[in-house]
Structure 1
């Protein structure tokens, strides 16, 4: 009898030991699943899926990333913080990001404007419509597109731009007479450019308008002699290089270069149309940038990135580490790096001299 009881005790102890061991292993597995992997710890990879449309490195060292339709993200001390319309953003498409002279961050959204004062993000609602023709140029002004995604609101009425002088946001009307067939010709489609000679340039889908403090310069289809067979302007980016040339990127008509006197079609000049290359082309250009060596870079849809060194043009695509097929923006960091913000898939890429690597 005592032998049987002893055996029973041993069996019970064995079963209990197995149960404890199984529970312990399960808990360990669950614990491992809840812990981030080594690659996830300290990761600064953006979770955007719609694309990185705008970038700003502010005066405090923070980096802001605007998305196509998922709001904006702040990178601060290695941590990512996301903001959407639920947090005070006027719209989840963030086209451009600027910092004013007081350190306030401005977000030019698909609809409206928002600001960040270091603590909170709010929609900026104040507007002045009483001085639409009082154009002026000040050194620290910021300029923004109209409030609507398409067209003009009842107070804007006509094509124009908002000017912020540090105190007041005022609407200025462009010296153009829209026609019913113009469609979105005068809707602003690019960040503004401050030229070295003092001219402010505004890129619209169908025109580029410059203002130097006294006169306007208008580059449009009529000025260029464009028509149906040649293809019309569809401007997606403008950039002034270190030599004072204004580069105009089009979705379909390639790159134009304006030296202050004449405009040339750079894409046609370099024989980089589809009919010439039979592959990747320089026709659908959405972003332009210049690196510290003076090379001009062009971001495209479907044809990777192109680099112009003053003599020849070189193409970089998926085989060179550039996974994104749509490069929305090219941004120069304070360290002089060029960051390429893209979509399909989303990400921010850095060129290391040989190939591209994802940075954010």
Structure 2
């Protein structure tokens, strides 16, 4: 009898040990799926803090900005010759990231902030966003800055945030800051940058800035999945597994520019050979019949009524309402703020459209107005025409 009891006790002990070992393996397996994408290597940035007033300049104190000093046609007093991004914060202020730095339009006027990189050079601002605490984050070629309403805190890192290194940035729903650079993806917790491993792609010889680890854009979908547009395809990370979505279809280029999720749950992916719809299973070319097979599509955006806006051949602008494609005519609306010199005829200016955007971004503000920013400044699309927004408006 005693021997039977001892046998049962031993059997139960072995069974518990087996179950615990299986649970442990399951836990470490799941953890391993996450950890294999985030390496132990961390990059500690240099930090500098500076009062906003010490680097701010009011627009009215600056010389008039001309896109081309040799061009006699009217150019307006542009916000900048190249605007990479526009963002409206929760207070209604407009922020512009430009080739020559950062500026903000608030109730007191337009102010420029003279941000510098780690070696004292001016910066190109690619991304502006706001976190849940109302802090403004600015991603520029050589670093990151956060603005708390009084001070800018700058983060510089000589190995990954080199000049021109930062290209995209996103604050996800959990408060993690994702940073896309020419050296790959990193997460930032306010203290250190941690690499997030994504396979290398290829260098695009047709782009001025291109690396095998280039991250063009980052987005988070409605389910909390992270999406990365890279030179190696479109990647999705569900918290455990990183998947190359574009590998499912050979017609989709590995050179991906942007990924957005539409309100209907489908994904639209812009590439160097067109715009594609991904329904979670298969891909469909949206632009092949319209533009041809190998025409590149740049930025894409869905407005509040479900219309898709996108750029093709770098400067052509189209929209799609779900049934019909429309190419937007190159036409500028002359406003009361526009003062033309005597050399320029207003009707001729309307037809020529000399200062239409070469868009880097399409954006809709809180007043539901559409902005197009890029080469030659900032524009709003109103009443089927572009309105050039200069330093003096119209706001």
TM interval, short-chain normalised: 0.5 to 0.7
1:7 maps to what in 2?
none
Report the counterpart of residue 187 of structure 2 in structure 1.
163
- 1:218-237 deviation per Cα after TM superposition (whole angstroms, max 9, x unaligned): 134x44325xxxx8433222
1:338–1:45 CA distance, 2 compared to 1 (3 A): farther
Greater RCO, 1 or 2 (C-alpha within 8 Å, sep 6+): 2
Q: Structure 1 residue 55: deviation in Å?
A: 1.5
* Residues 92/173 of structure 1: CA separation in 2 closer, same or farther (3 Å cut): same
Secondary structure (helix, strand or coil) at the match of 1:294 reads coil
Q: Hey, what's the Cα distance between the residues in 2 that align with 1:315 and 1:45? A: 28
Q: Does 1:306 align with 2:318?
A: yes
- Aligned equivalent of 2:68: none
Deviation at 1:126, TM superposition (A): 7.9
Do structure 1's residue 102 and structure 2's residue 137 form an aligned pair?
A: no
Note the C-alpha offset of 1:179. Answer: 7.1
Aligned partners of 1:299 and 1:330 also within 8 Å? no
Distance 1:326 1:98 in 2: 22
For 1:306 and 1:181, the matched residues in 2 are separated by 28
Matched, 1:329 2:361: yes
2:223 maps to which of 197, 206, 228: 197
Cα distance in structure 2, aligned partners of 1:219 and 1:193: 14
* 1:48 alignment counterpart: 80
* Number of aligned residue pairs: 280
Pairing partner for 2:256 from 218, 235, 240: 235
Secondary structure of 1:108's aligned partner: strand
Q: 1:187 aligns with which of 209, 214, 238?
A: 214
Q: CA deviation at 1:330?
A: 0.9
Q: Residues of 2 paired with 1:225 and 1:111: CA distance?
A: 35
Once the two structures are TM-superposed, the CA of residue 288 in structure 1 deviates from its matched residue by 1.0
Q: 226, 230, 241: which is aligned to 1:215?
A: 241
Aligned with 1:163: secondary structure?
strand
C-alpha distance in 1 between matches for 2:256 and 2:201: 19
- 1:326/1:303 CA distance change after superposition, 3 Å: closer
- Given candidates 150, 163, 186, the residue that maps to 1:119 is 150
Classify 1:46/1:104 alpha carbon distance in 2 versus 1 (closer, same or farther; 3 Å).
farther
Normalising to structure 2: TM-score of the pair? 0.62
Rg (Cα) greater in structure: 1
Determine the C-alpha separation between the residues in 2 that align with 1:225 and 1:87: 40
| Pick aligned residue for 1:316 from 313, 328, 336 | 328
The SS at the match of 1:306 is strand
Superimposed CA distance per residue, residues 9-59 of structure 1 (whole angstroms, 9 cap, x where no aligned partner): xxxxxxxxxxxxxxxxxxxxxxxxx9x9xxxxxxx964311x211121112
Aligned to 2:69: none
Kindly indicate whether residue 285 of structure 2 is the aligned counterpart of residue 265 of structure 1. yes
Partners of 2:233 and 2:253 within 8 A in 1 = no
- The more displaced of 259-268 and 87-96 is 87-96
Partner in structure 2 of residue 61 of structure 1: 92
Return the offset for 1:102. Answer: 2.2
Cα distance per residue 1:233-283 (max 9 Å; x no partner): 332222211112221222x31212212111222111x432289xxxxxxx3
CA separation of 1:195 and 1:330: change in aligned 2, threshold 3 A: same
How far apart are the structure 2 equivalents of 1:188 and 1:259? 23
Conserved? CA contact 1:66–1:93, under 8 Å: yes
Q: CA deviation at 1:90?
A: 7.9
Structure 1 residues 181 and 143: CA distance shift in structure 2, 3 A: closer
What is the root-mean-square deviation in Å for CA atoms of aligned residues?
3.3
TM-score by length of 1: 0.68
